[in-house]
Chains A and B, each alone.
Chain A
Amino acid sequence: MLFNSFIFFIFLLIVVPLYYNLGVKHRKLLVLLSSYVFYGYWDYRFTILLAISTFVDFFIGRKLYAVDNKNIKKRLLLLSVCVNLGILGLFKYYDFFIDSFSVFAGQFNQNLDYLHLNIILPVGISFYTFQTMSYTIDIYREKLKPTNSIIDFAVFVSFFPQLVAGPIERARNLLPQIAINKLPSKEQINSGIVLIVLGLFKKVLIGDTTGRIVDQVFSQPELYKSPELLSALVLFSIQIYADFSGYSNIARGTAKLLGFELMKNFEQPYLSRNITEFWRRWHISLSSWLKDYLYITLGGNRKGNFITYLNLFITMLLGGLWHGASWNFVIWGGLHGLYLAIHKIILKKKKVELTDYVYNGFYSFSKYFLQVLLTYIIVLFAWLFFRSTDFNTSSYFIEKMIYWETSDLSVRFFKITFFFTVVTLLYDFIEYRTKQHSFIVLIRNKPLRIGILLAIFLVTLLYMFNTEPLPFIYFQF
């Protein structure tokens, strides 16, 4: 079920009070059962895949820890990776590769259409396969001890707040919490409620509302003029951020209500001063996963400059492919790989630290502003490839940006874009300054705080009641 649906809140209203009234063992079983209900709401058959992933990795994990022989360990790891990537490959990439080979085969008058399987992509498959893979890889690297409880592990794989869209958790963070399974503190409950309300606001009132325009414009760009296309692209950058970070907030908030702490997935990425900083603030759970399990596996920065740049490029290229079976995502990933490699060349040995900007006069602010703007522009350019359904759409957009044509609706489009930008930046600015995603908890006056939260929640629910929900963008990945 979608977080931005009433059925999810009814589901929460049943699960959470029940959870508070059960003992540790039963709480785990309740979370497990709820997670399977949550996932099976889309299609009950999807839960079979979830169960396969759980059993395979649980037993391989235990075996990996038990044996000393390096060759057997390698084979076991390979088996785990093959099963997980096999499921992912079959459901997500099979048809894509057949499509791509069809073009090649077409040159020799061969038709490969009969090889298409046309399988439905199970929601969030990329997220939980990566999560379970990190478990076996960490055991192989001797960074983690396997769990002895299949229930704990099944909860780790299927934990409903983060099952379909992350954050992609590491076993070393989540498994100990599942093992203890303590009830939430008062602070966690307060912060959880605030995160859910703010996340829902972001996802629904910013993400979905911008998405309605974006979807229409990108589906038939030839109907729109240059200013309208530019607005749609900017709105998409807002949509994907609000959609995903809002969803992550709801996930973290829901987990907090059950006493769990999930990692932060976003830290105001559009306030980044360079592309390296951007990737430390954007989809943090994926970028750190790619760094730990792909970039480092490829050799990281240990094999000289050229290999470092190449590794960065390959990591981002595959990161792009993780998002979806389309060459557009590959181009998007490739562009980011290129940006990061160039930035690394510019940086030489210097490290990028995540320090907050402190106002220090007009000159320093101008410099900061220009850096943020430049980073945003290159990110925006890459978003064009991410959102376009094919390369023709991307090139049409670029053509329309070069050969600019005016529109009598420019002012309306820019006005809409401006106000969405202002609200998004204001939201980020408050987060940035307070270093809190649930910044409303900082308001000491409790009735005032409740009044603010209730107003936001009420308006969001009213909007949801009157409009069809847009699915979360990352569900398709």
Chain B
Amino acid sequence: MKYLKLFFGFTLGFLITLALLELFLQSAEVNALTNAKQDKVLGSRLNPNSNFLYFNEGFSIGKVNAYGYYGPSYPRTKDANVERIALIGDSYVEGVQVFERNHFRNKLENLLNQVNNSSNSYQVLNFGRSGFNLNDSYCYYENFVKQFNPTVKLIFVSPGDLVNRGPIASRPYALLQNEDIVIDYGFSKSEKYKFKESTAAFRGKSVILGYILKTLELIRTDNYKYILFGKFSSIGEVTERKTKKERKKEILSDITKKIILKLRNQDCIFVVHTETTVNDYDYLVKDFLEFSKENKVKVINFSPLFEKLKTNNINYNYWPVTNKKGHFNERGHNEIAKLLYEMINKSKN
């Protein structure tokens, strides 16, 4: 009886405090709950109308729209006099490092609608998803983006996105079958997906549980040593890193080439950005540009813009607060919007 009383007291104190802390963490948005949920077709889908708060290089507060993408809630159907531009790609397109009002999606839309002599109006939709490569973008385009009837499709690729990394356990994967592209949805049978699906209800509702799962992931992937031991973590460790030369085994794979050609046939325009970070796969872009030229694929290359910005000492991907280099900062978004605006205008004329 005595021990039961002790156990009861301890559990009561522990659980009530946990509940109060959870309430605080959620209300003060110390860490936002995950804004994606598992989906048997898309792999993961952004929760419509979910709030997010992002901290890493930059900081932003925002909301996923009612249809599960970023920006204003434009419905699937569109009026005939609306030009709809879809932005498809990875975290550079997603751009949660900046507020929506500073994202190039918003700036481009404003520019197009401000200086617009025709009766047409423009809508720019952001379908960017963090971690996507070209294969993922293709699947997302086929399964989701198309439903919104975009007239202009901009597929953003950085060097790493051109690497064919093979199927992964959480997303659909496009593969070649008898020279045709087929999307494989076998991921939904993987253990990882099933685990994520079964824990989604908790993860989506508890910040603390999110911490626990992330902590376990850090431990599992061996990324905890510096966190725990600081400067002493590297003692006795030999760092293994593949050299750039070793990595240069990648080539533009058949499936990647096929995806590029298929997207070309659907009037997609590729936007290449190489100068954001030093990347082990920079050389792949050269192959991609040559392949595109041979096959008349429309490409917008950001390299000249970034070179110009660099020459003028304009930081387009530096984050002073966190002292990190990576995704486009507000200035970068501004310049990209201007460039895309010019390109779209030029193509109209």
Contacts and interface: CB of A to CB of B under 8 A. Distances in A.
Dominant SS among interface residues on chain B: helix
B6 interface: yes
B224 interface: yes
B56 to A, nearest CB: 9
Contact of A5 (B5, B51, B214, B230): B230
A212 B211 contact: no
Contact of A450 (B10, B61, B227): B10
A415 B58 CA distance: 21
Interface string A443-462: 00111111110111001001
A205 B27 CA distance: 13
B330 A220 contact: yes
Contacts of B227: 6, 464-465
B282 to A, nearest CB: 28
A10 B229 contact: yes
B17 A455 contact: yes
B283 interface: no
Q: Name the interface size band of chain B.
A: 35 or more
B109 to A, nearest CB: 16
Interface in B164-221: 208, 211-212, 214-215, 218
Contacts of B15: 451, 455
B10 A456 contact: no
B96 to A, nearest CB: 13
B321 A450 contact: no
A247 B7 CA distance: 32
Interface residues of A, number: 40
B208 A219 contact: no
Contacts of B110: none
Given A216-B59, A463-B211, A456 B17 contact: yes
B321 A465 contact: no
A446 B9 CA distance: 8
A1 B230 CA distance: 9
Listed residue (B14, B18, B61, B330) with the most chain A CB atoms within 10 angstroms of its CB:
B14
A466 B58 contact: no
A454 B215 CA distance: 18
A372 interface: no
A464 B30 CA distance: 12
Nearest to B58: A216
Contacts of A409: 61, 99
Contacts of A464: 227
A56 interface: no
B61 A413 contact: yes
Interface string B1-40: 0000111111111111110010011011111000000000
Given A409-B61, A451-B11, A451-B17, A423 B28 contact: yes
B51 A412 contact: yes
B320 A219 contact: yes
Contacts of B59: 212-213, 216
B102 to A, nearest CB: 6
A420 interface: yes
A416 interface: yes
A117 B21 CA distance: 47
Given A212-B59, A220-B330, A459-B21, A447 B215 contact: no
Interface in A1-47: 1, 5-7, 10, 41
Given A223-B102, A416-B28, A462-B212, A455 B14 contact: yes
A425 to B, nearest CB: 13
Contacts of A213: 59
A447 B4 CA distance: 11
Contacts of A216: 58-59, 321
B228 A7 contact: yes
A455 B24 CA distance: 13
A419 interface: yes
A451 B21 contact: no
Nearest to B56: A468
Contact of B12 (A5, A412, A448, A454): A448
A476 B280 CA distance: 38
B334 to A, nearest CB: 11
Given A220-B330, A412-B61, A455-B21, A448 B230 contact: no
A41 B231 contact: yes
A390 interface: no
Given A420-B28, A459-B208, A465-B218, A447 B321 contact: no
Listed residue (B30, B55, B232) with the most chain A CB atoms within 10 angstroms of its CB:
B30
A465 B228 CA distance: 8
A223 B330 contact: yes
A292 interface: no
Interface in A397-419: 409, 412-413, 415-416, 419
21 contacts: A5-B230, A6-B228, A6-B229, A209-B30, A212-B55, A212-B59, A216-B58, A223-B99, A409-B61, A409-B99, A413-B61, A419-B28, A446-B9, A447-B7, A448-B13, A449-B13, A451-B15, A452-B13, A455-B15, A459-B208, A463-B31
Given A209-B30, A216-B58, A451-B15, 8 more contacts: A6-B229, A219-B320, A415-B27, A420-B28, A423-B28, A451-B13, A455-B15, A465-B218
Interface of A: 1, 5-7, 10, 41, 205, 209, 212-213, 215-216, 219-220, 223, 409, 412-413, 415-416, 419-420, 423, 445-452, 454-456, 459, 462-466
Interface of B: 5-18, 21, 24-25, 27-31, 51, 55, 58-59, 61, 99, 102, 208, 211-212, 214-215, 218, 224, 227-232, 320-321, 330
